[in-house]
Structure formats: structure tokens, C-alpha cells
Amino acid sequence: MKKIALAVLLASGLMAAENADYFGISFGNAELGVDLSVPGLSASTEVDDKHISFTLGHYYEDTARVWAGYSYVDTDSDVDDADAFSIGYDFILPLAENRLSLYADPVIGYTRYEEPGIDISGFHYGAQAGVIVRLIDNIEIEAGYRYLMETGSDTVNVSGIDVDIDADDLKMWYVGANLRF
């Protein structure tokens, strides 16, 4: 009987901790770096647009969280698809009585970028860092920066010359709100 009472006491203590699921929405800027090369010549360029991201995740107390997110990039050109799916595990440093926290984490996922005749979709990996400000118990504001290395590439033929197109990196600034539940 003592073992059962001890197990119930431990379980109730774990459930009382700050474990919580959350949903987040953020807005920001996304820059996709692209390298172009033909035999004997190379150049770099960036595609710069705004994005909206949706995130679902789970907090483990106030020191870590795991998340999965979808980012849609709103392009002004004739791009067919520009979006990314990522997962990450944040290491959180609570400050100021858990009302202000810093975080950093590794990120992996897949970026899809397709234009007519070009597909430089591929896997990505990198890191992000930011700050979380908890307004009330279940609402917080978040801002951060994500840097991802891209693996997508394609070769297109332009007037008989093969042009290699390689996605280099994806840089995202964002600010948004999270709802804990």
C-alpha cells in the first residue's frame, strides 16, 4: 500500500509541473540563398519574401520543448510552391520568474521550392534562437531567428547550356504568439 501511495504522490507531482501543449502562429521574413553556376562562371542570389508559420508543440516544464512547424512563404513571383516543414527541440533558459526566457535549438526538416521548370526542394538542417515573453499563464509572445542549410538542387538547360541551381541557405526572422493549453 505504501508503494501505491508513493507512486500516486510522484505522479501527481509530475502532472503539476509546467508540462503543456501549445499552438503558435508567427510572421516574418524569409530569405532563400541560391547559387547558380555554368562551366567557368558562378553567381549567388537571394529570394526575399514574407512568411507565415504555424507550430504545434509540447513544453517540458519551462526548460525544454519539442515542436513541429509549417511555414508558408508568400512569393510575389511565379513560384508554384514555397514552403517548409520543420521539427526541433528547444533548450530553454527561464529568466525573470519564468516570464522571460531565451531558447536555442537544432532544427531539421524539408523545404519545397518549385518554379516552372525548376525544383530545388530538399532537406534542411540548422538552428534557431530567440526570446519568449510570457504575458499571462497561457499566452506568450515569441521572436527569433532561424538559419537553415539547404540540400536542394536542380539543373536546367538554357539555350543548350546546363545551369546548376543549388539552394544554399534559408534565413527566417519571425515574431508571433503562442497559446498554451
CATH of the domain at 55: 2.40.160.20
CA distances from 108 to 10, 28, 42, 81, 93 (A): 35, 19, 28, 19, 21
pLDDT at 81: 87
What is the rounded average pLDDT of the residues 107-113? 97
Averaged pLDDT score across all residues of the chain: 90
The pTM score is: 0.85
With a pLDDT cut of 70, the percent of the chain lying above it is 91
Asked whether 44 and 165 are in contact (CB, 8 A), the reply is no
Considering its fold, how many domains does the chain have in total?
Answer: 1
Is residue 3 one of the residues assigned to a domain? no
Give me the phi and psi of 19, to 5 degrees please.
Answer: -80, 130
Is residue 12 one of the residues assigned to a domain? no
pLDDT at 133: 97
Report the Cα 91 to chain-centroid distance in Å: 14
Element (H, E) at 22: strand 20-38
pLDDT at 3: 54
Is residue 119 one of the residues assigned to a domain? yes
Is residue 35 one of the residues assigned to a domain? yes
| Enclosing domain of residue 109 | 19-180
**Cell numbers linked to 160:** 543548350
Q: Write down the residue that cell numbers 534562437 correspond to.
A: 129
What is the rounded average pLDDT of the residues 83-105? 95
pLDDT at 156: 94
- Which pLDDT band, with edges at 50, 70 and 90, does 47 fall under? confident
Is residue 1 one of the residues assigned to a domain? no
pLDDT at 8: 44
Query: Is the pLDDT assigned to residue 136 strictly greater than 60?
Result: yes
**Cell numbers linked to 81:** 510552391
Show Cβ contacts of residue 56 under 8 Å, excluding neighbours closer than 6 positions. 21, 22, 23, 24, 67, 68, 69
Is residue 6 one of the residues assigned to a domain? no
What is the rounded average pLDDT of the residues 23-52? 94
Is residue 26 one of the residues assigned to a domain? yes
What is the rounded average pLDDT of the residues 88-103? 94
The beta-strand segments (E) located in 61-159 are 64-74, 81-95, 100-115, 118-119, 122-136, 139-150, 153-158
Asked whether 169 and 10 are in contact (CB, 8 A), the reply is no
Query: Is the pLDDT assigned to residue 30 strictly greater than 70?
Result: yes
Is residue 162 one of the residues assigned to a domain? yes
